[in-house]
A and B are shown apart, each in its own frame.
Chain A
Amino acid sequence: MSKIEKKQINNLIRISKQLRIDVVNIVHSAKSGHVGGSLGLADIFTVLYFHVLKHNSNDPNWENRDRFVVSNGHIAPIYYSALAHSGYFPISELSSLRKLRSRLQGHPSTLDLPGIDISTGSLGQGLGVACGMALIAQKDKKNHLVYCSIGDGESQEGSIWEAAMFAGHHKLSNLIAFTDRNCIQIDGDTEKINKLEPLSKKWEAFNWNVLSANGNDIEEILDTFEKAKKENSKPTMIIFNTKLGFPVSFMDGVSKWHGTAPNDDEAKETMIEIKKYYSKLKL
């Protein structure tokens, strides 16, 4: 059981609900964007931004902050929602997603928006960036940690494994990466397109500490990050088993929802399902 109080957990759950609502609203309004992965990752991003990460939105480049590289940049809607609710920019700006001259580009742009260390969107690149950050922190004996989010489809990129080998070799125990394991990529089931399994064993073979957890359970996510922080000889990979579009039932396992915006009816239906899910949790 988690040492974190029930009250705190309930608070995080409430935040995750708001982030999900924002994701649906902004993707619907933009008429494009990645809604499925964003909803599936809402619990993890909530835990990170509102509990795990040491960060300060008033000082985005604070030297002692934990770093967080979002290598799977297409899940920008949840990234932006978490940043806005953390105070990096006005929540009202979320509605500019993907619009002309918006700072909220379809994929994250570091020069445009505070809180984003590096531009991502071309898959497979962020883990290496996180490795560079962790390497310097390790060399200079800094206490902050480096987190990195990657997609499961993204793990088909060779550059992910170049970075994996590097992190294992340099024993970057200050690096905590996680995979959004929803088993869905744009063209379908990851296992039918280009099999990733046995995924945990792959990371173990690259000399990583590997954990796995339900990525749609806030308490389990909290516990798993705590465990990861305790590792002191290897980088950690957390395989977070998530559901695409969680908790929206009609998105679960349907690859269309990787990168399609809901139309008016679908957006309505999505909101109904999200609200139903949270009301069942009886906070």
Chain B
Amino acid sequence: MKYIKENIFSNPEMLPTRDGFGKALVELGEINEKIIVLTTDVAGSVRANWFAEKFPQRFFDLGVAEQNMISVAAGISLENKIPFATTFGAFITGRVWDQIRVLVTYSKTNVKLVATHTGVTVGEDGATHQILEDIALMRVLPNMTVVVPSDFNETKKAIFAAANFKGPIYIRLGRQKAPLITTDDAPFEIGKSQKLRDGNDVTIIACGVLVYEAMLAAEKLDKLGISSRILNMHTIKPLDVDSISEAAKTTGAIVTAEEHQIAGGLGSAIAESVIKQNPVPIEMIGIKDVFGMSGTSDELLTYYGLRADNIVDSVKKVLKRKK
């Protein structure tokens, strides 16, 4: 398959998306003087420390003061710099949503918001730290762009794209190691989904960690004689409505998969689009209106039904509804 790494099923390379962010920042720092990095007492955890070591003059740790980080980032962006504000997902969305709303999106400032530690795969830290509502909170804001990369390589490209993109953007990353799916030369464009695999019976649309589970599900579905298309919907806003509409038309059924509340997330965004264009049955994989809990990443993905097997079950369900 084009742009997909070899051996992703037998022996995938494992790297956290936050590492891709840290690496991209260092590379960006070398070529772009305007890059400024801000964080709130979690420099090591978000991998901003790598940038800090190389460019101490362009790195600011604001201490445990997330609201102020967003305000300061807005001020910095007004001085023709490109601030990347980064901290854990729970604290860079819900906690500072009003600052983002007024100073970043309403004011349309060039602030880059990068969340690490999102979803249940945060693991042992438990529910307070497992933000499952951030996609909803960010995508509802006018002028906001929302990107959820699926792996390390895609994260690097997303960070570069964000730096070159004018305006507010939210990038959602994870803490845990995740399989490397995409190749170095796989194209990445904000707002343009990737067809990772073609198929006729159903389309699985996923983002983030769930893209890999979707790939695993497709293999299983092949064995059942079900041909599935996979769209890596790394940009949730603006949504790639053309690809979704085409998929709905061609395959006639959709399953969405995300590590986020079903309400307001990727699945909701797709449903909003499909209902207007080519209405087809949709099943959604995601968190079912509950908070997270402690456990390992793997345990939690299984507990909350975010695995390939769950996607296979949803495909069977949606195919029964298909006309």
Please state if B60 and A128 are interface contacts (CB–CB under 8 Å): no
Given contacts A118-B107, A139-B57, whether A166 and B74 have CB atoms under 8 Å apart is: no
Judge if A259 is at the interface, Cβ distance under 8 Å: no
A40 to B57 Cα, complex, angstroms: 41
Given contacts A110-B107, A111-B107, A120-B102, whether A129 and B71 have CB atoms under 8 Å apart is: yes
CB-nearest residue of chain B relative to A163? Answer: B68
Judge if B289 is at the interface, Cβ distance under 8 Å: no
Please state if A133 and B79 are interface contacts (CB–CB under 8 Å): yes
A110 to B65 Cα, complex, angstroms: 25
Please state if A132 and B74 are interface contacts (CB–CB under 8 Å): yes
Given contacts A119-B102, A119-B106, A162-B65, whether A129 and B57 have CB atoms under 8 Å apart is: no
Q: Which of B156-183 contact A (CB under 8 A)?
A: none
A176 to B109 Cα, complex, angstroms: 23
Please state if A128 and B102 are interface contacts (CB–CB under 8 Å): no
Please state if A119 and B107 are interface contacts (CB–CB under 8 Å): yes
Q: Which of B121-141 contact A (CB under 8 A)?
A: none
Judge if A127 is at the interface, Cβ distance under 8 Å: yes
Please state if B79 and A159 are interface contacts (CB–CB under 8 Å): no
CB-nearest residue of chain B relative to A159? Answer: B67
A140 to B74 Cα, complex, angstroms: 17
0/1 interface trace, chain B 66-87, chain A, CB 8 Å (1 if under): 0110111111111101010000
Which among A118, A129, A137 has the highest number of chain B CB atoms within 10 Å?
A129
Please state if B78 and A128 are interface contacts (CB–CB under 8 Å): no
A137 to B72 Cα, complex, angstroms: 13
Judge if A125 is at the interface, Cβ distance under 8 Å: yes
Q: Which of B71, B76, B99, B109 contacts A136 (CB 8 A)?
A: B76
Please state if A118 and B68 are interface contacts (CB–CB under 8 Å): no
* Closest beta carbon of chain A to B107's beta carbon, Å: 4
A contact patch SS: helix
A269 to B79 Cα, complex, angstroms: 45
Please state if A128 and B68 are interface contacts (CB–CB under 8 Å): yes
A109 to B109 Cα, complex, angstroms: 12
CB-nearest residue of chain A relative to B74? Answer: A129
Q: Which of B68, B78, B99 contacts A166 (CB 8 A)?
A: B68
A119 to B103 Cα, complex, angstroms: 6
Q: Which of B57, B71, B81, B106 contacts A128 (CB 8 A)?
A: B71
Please state if B102 and A131 are interface contacts (CB–CB under 8 Å): no
Please state if B62 and A166 are interface contacts (CB–CB under 8 Å): yes
B contact residues around A121 at 8 Å (CB)? 102
Please state if A118 and B109 are interface contacts (CB–CB under 8 Å): yes
A137 to B79 Cα, complex, angstroms: 8
CB-nearest residue of chain B relative to A107? Answer: B102
A contact residues around B220 at 8 Å (CB)? none
B contact residues around A137 at 8 Å (CB)? 79
Which among B60, B65, B73, B75 has the highest number of chain A CB atoms within 10 Å?
B75
CB-nearest residue of chain B relative to A118? Answer: B107
Judge if B316 is at the interface, Cβ distance under 8 Å: no
A contact residues around B62 at 8 Å (CB)? 162, 166
Judge if A122 is at the interface, Cβ distance under 8 Å: yes
* Closest beta carbon of chain B to A227's beta carbon, Å: 25
CB-nearest residue of chain A relative to B79? Answer: A136
Please state if B106 and A109 are interface contacts (CB–CB under 8 Å): yes
CB-nearest residue of chain B relative to A157? Answer: B67
Given contacts A125-B71, A162-B67, whether A111 and B108 have CB atoms under 8 Å apart is: yes
Judge if A239 is at the interface, Cβ distance under 8 Å: no
Judge if B184 is at the interface, Cβ distance under 8 Å: no
* Closest beta carbon of chain A to B196's beta carbon, Å: 38
Please state if B106 and A129 are interface contacts (CB–CB under 8 Å): no
A132 to B102 Cα, complex, angstroms: 16
A69 to B57 Cα, complex, angstroms: 25
Judge if B98 is at the interface, Cβ distance under 8 Å: yes
A158 to B36 Cα, complex, angstroms: 25
* Closest beta carbon of chain B to A152's beta carbon, Å: 19
A contact residues around B106 at 8 Å (CB)? 109, 111, 119
Given contacts A128-B75, A135-B76, whether A122 and B102 have CB atoms under 8 Å apart is: yes
Q: Which of A69, A109, A111, A165 contacts B65 (CB 8 A)?
A: A165
Please state if B71 and A159 are interface contacts (CB–CB under 8 Å): yes
Please state if B108 and A163 are interface contacts (CB–CB under 8 Å): no
CB-nearest residue of chain A relative to B67? Answer: A159
Please state if A136 and B81 are interface contacts (CB–CB under 8 Å): yes
A121 to B77 Cα, complex, angstroms: 19
* Closest beta carbon of chain B to A190's beta carbon, Å: 21
* Closest beta carbon of chain B to A29's beta carbon, Å: 26
Which among A124, A126, A134, A162 has the highest number of chain B CB atoms within 10 Å?
A162
0/1 interface trace, chain B 186-225, chain A, CB 8 Å (1 if under): 0000000000000000000000000000000000000000
A48 to B99 Cα, complex, angstroms: 27
A contact residues around B78 at 8 Å (CB)? 67, 117-118, 129, 132-133
Judge if A82 is at the interface, Cβ distance under 8 Å: no
Other A-B pairs, 11, CB within 8 Å; known A132-B73, A163-B68: A67-B78, A118-B74, A119-B102, A125-B71, A128-B72, A132-B77, A132-B83, A158-B67, A165-B63, A165-B65, A166-B63
Which 10 A-B pairs have CB atoms at the shortest separation, nearest pair first?
Answer: A132-B75, A128-B71, A162-B68, A132-B72, A136-B79, A129-B75, A162-B65, A132-B76, A159-B67, A133-B75
B contacts, CB < 8 Å to A: 36, 57, 60, 62-63, 65, 67-68, 70-79, 81, 83, 98-99, 101-103, 106-109
A contacts, CB < 8 Å to B: 67, 69, 109-111, 117-122, 124-137, 139-140, 158-159, 162-163, 165-166
